[in-house]
A = this chain, B = another copy of it.
């Protein structure tokens, strides 16, 4: 009998297979079929965005963040990349018996601070406690509701020639979490990039009406996120390795551990596909923000490699960058 393996949760090919073959089949409807980071729903005279994410990151505290702030920013970002202003979040806690109340307090304060920073309210919640050994310390689900203010985001608008931007160095979140993980732990002066992106995104959308699509490269990293975009499309993406922003710490740790930064999760970065004409303008706005000051043009959309992501390497060659297959890093978010 087939068993669920860790790879099913990695964001890569097995997870996509599960989603397509099981969930999309069983729950099929027009909204789900859009496969966006948030569902877009019409309510009266408004369009709202609605999204959910569970967080099982291990360890629960890591350089630059913790499971609480991560749970807020992750959901805020899933709303923001769909052109919505994040407004409300829910909080579902599953706690292991024996967790220190002080730890729960610390996480709660972090959630409260993150919500304030993102401009959202925690409006509803639920707490479950399971016996020792039935979960690992604490798992957090946040769902979010936002109001859509920019409706022109769709993979269908992407054309050859469009510019691909990432808002900062990639892989910092994954490396920061792993550096503190029991049994793996290593020295790395890398802080998670975990951050709310709603203000950065609204700044961009104020100056350009030619932003075509956005997605935050979480599980599976930039490589997987870009592959999701090009899958079954009449375009591909050509990346320039020389322009990929990777911090010294991430580069060093990746070499040490045998990771490719393109597959490492970010939690405070967004990939923006924008018309070539507006790329410079958008980049300039990003550079003025705290979250986007490390933004870089990393490649462009091309008709040459339909359905593929291709990397122009430092050595001058080209190689295909596949979707993450199997497991790279479990419980990174």
Contact = CB atoms under 8 A, between A and B. Distances in A.
A98 B53 contact: no
A31 B9 CA distance: 34
A133 B135 CA distance: 7
A56 B99 contact: no
Contacts of A97: 3-6
A54 B92 contact: yes
Interface string A301-331: 0000000000000000000000000000011
A95 B4 CA distance: 8
B43 A91 contact: no
Given A52-B90, A124-B39, A143-B92, A104 B22 contact: yes
Interface in A257-300: none
A162 interface: no
A80 B92 CA distance: 19
Interface string A34-73: 0000110101111010111111101000000000000000
Interface of A: 1-10, 15, 18-19, 22-23, 26-27, 29, 31-32, 38-39, 41, 43-46, 48, 50-56, 58, 87-88, 90-102, 104-105, 108-109, 111-112, 115, 121-131, 133-136, 139, 141, 143, 145, 147, 330-331
Given A27-B125, A134-B331, A135-B136, 15 more contacts: A1-B102, A2-B102, A3-B101, A4-B98, A7-B129, A9-B130, A26-B108, A26-B112, A48-B145, A50-B143, A54-B93, A54-B141, A94-B139, A130-B331, A139-B139
